[in-house]
A = this chain, B = another copy of it.
């Protein structure tokens, strides 16, 4: 891992991150979306054949397939999924908010209602990125919000099958309908609807560059959660940190993706060499060592800082998806953290606890977007609607002021809407 020091190196060099040369797939995705809009199901069957090389008899996952998937899943795993589900529900239940109303003495009433989205689409990637945990994280907040219909789309294997763990988890999470279509075509189906797949109000979930591009293109037709890039972790460590544990956490991030980012920021010069050695040793034993090694090579960094305040300043600049505070007094730093998707406090809270189990969401803002995006939450599955009521007297009391404002904007029709009511008292 490259080593930097805030004493010697330029901040811009320290912060530089390597991204892939992302091909511009927008022409291909535009064509896919147009085909799905024009030909619906027929386009989906053709695109699944052309792009995924799969011949489907039906787009719909049947009840039998789900029952088979549940049977094929070990009772131990089902128990773990159920525990994780309970933890996620308990945490997200705390995000539920009420509307409000203000009732004033002059008879004016105004407020804000909070209403669930009617239909939500959850995109679940296939292949090596087929994660049951993501199904739980994306579906359960929608259930709590009261979404009436949750529709999942996901690509199949070459035989037209969805992995059993995905189907079993979808069933446990309470997905209403599952369809066998991924990629940009899956996103297009959710955004515009087809004969079989219902049009939704919002699409959530991670995916490859085709999925991300399609999500951005349909944004506005439907809402989307965020545009997700490669995952990242930033670990702040002091003298109390365990180099073996830190190396394991850096590698857990690195095994996701060749462009994943794994950064250690430490006040301890002595820790650096130890972590380097541990990363080397542990890497050799990883099944996904090729990916992890590439990520460490591309975006693995160790940054030596003067003190923990400086460490947090760097974390705030980077705005990590995951921030581990592997320090003796982690809670003392929390109030300084301005930009981070999720913060893991202390030596016994590895990110993996949050990835799978503890309760907070693992769908988090990547690539520094924690500056403005938030972890997926119940808020993502509701909309707000405001309301206002004036009595005749209350309206007349402010009529002149409102007309003056409207006239200032040269909107005489707006002023008239008030004037006709003031002229003709009931």
Q: Which residues of A contact B (CB under 8 A)?
A: 76-77, 79-81, 83-84, 90-91, 94-95, 97, 100, 102, 108-110, 112-113, 115, 117-118, 128, 130-133, 165, 201-202, 216, 219-220, 222-223, 226-227, 242, 244-245, 248-249, 251-252, 254-256, 282, 285-288, 292, 330-331, 334, 337-361, 369-375, 377, 379, 383-392, 394-395, 398, 401-402, 404-406, 408-421, 424, 426
Do residues B349 and A389 form an inter-chain contact, with CB atoms below 8 A? yes
Of B115, B220, B409, B410, which is within 8 A of A133 by CB? B409
Given A80-B401, A248-B413, A330-B389; 12 other pairs, CB 8 A cutoff: A109-B345, A244-B424, A248-B421, A252-B411, A340-B385, A342-B386, A344-B388, A347-B421, A352-B417, A356-B405, A357-B401, A357-B402
Centre residue among A249, A369, A420 by max chain B CB count within 10 A = A420
Look across to chain B and name the residue whose beta carbon is closest to the beta carbon of A101: B94
Do residues A390 and B346 form an inter-chain contact, with CB atoms below 8 A? yes
Centre residue among A128, A387, A390, A409 by max chain B CB count within 10 A = A387
Of B79, B165, B223, B343, which is within 8 A of A373 by CB? B223
Do residues B406 and A352 form an inter-chain contact, with CB atoms below 8 A? yes
Look across to chain B and name the residue whose beta carbon is closest to the beta carbon of A362: B386
In the complex, chain B residues whose CB is within 8 Å of the CB of A406? 352, 355-356
Look across to chain B and name the residue whose beta carbon is closest to the beta carbon of A202: B372
Do residues A390 and B420 form an inter-chain contact, with CB atoms below 8 A? no
Given A100-B94, A386-B375, do A357 and B405 touch, yes or no (CB 8 Å)? Answer: yes
Chain A interface helix/strand/loop/mixed: mixed
In the complex, chain B residues whose CB is within 8 Å of the CB of A165? 408
Centre residue among A91, A226, A374, A424 by max chain B CB count within 10 A = A374
In the complex, chain B residues whose CB is within 8 Å of the CB of A417? 245, 248-249, 251-252, 350-352
Rounded to whole Å, the gap between the CB of A250 and the closest CB of chain B is 9
In the complex, chain B residues whose CB is within 8 Å of the CB of A226? 220
User: How many angstroms from the CA of A402 to the CA of B249 in the assembled complex?
Assistant: 14
Given A255-B411, A406-B352, do A385 and B77 touch, yes or no (CB 8 Å)? Answer: no
User: How many angstroms from the CA of A358 to the CA of B408 in the assembled complex?
Assistant: 17
Look across to chain B and name the residue whose beta carbon is closest to the beta carbon of A79: B401
Look across to chain B and name the residue whose beta carbon is closest to the beta carbon of A342: B386
User: How many angstroms from the CA of A222 to the CA of B343 in the assembled complex?
Assistant: 22
User: How many angstroms from the CA of A359 to the CA of B103 in the assembled complex?
Assistant: 13
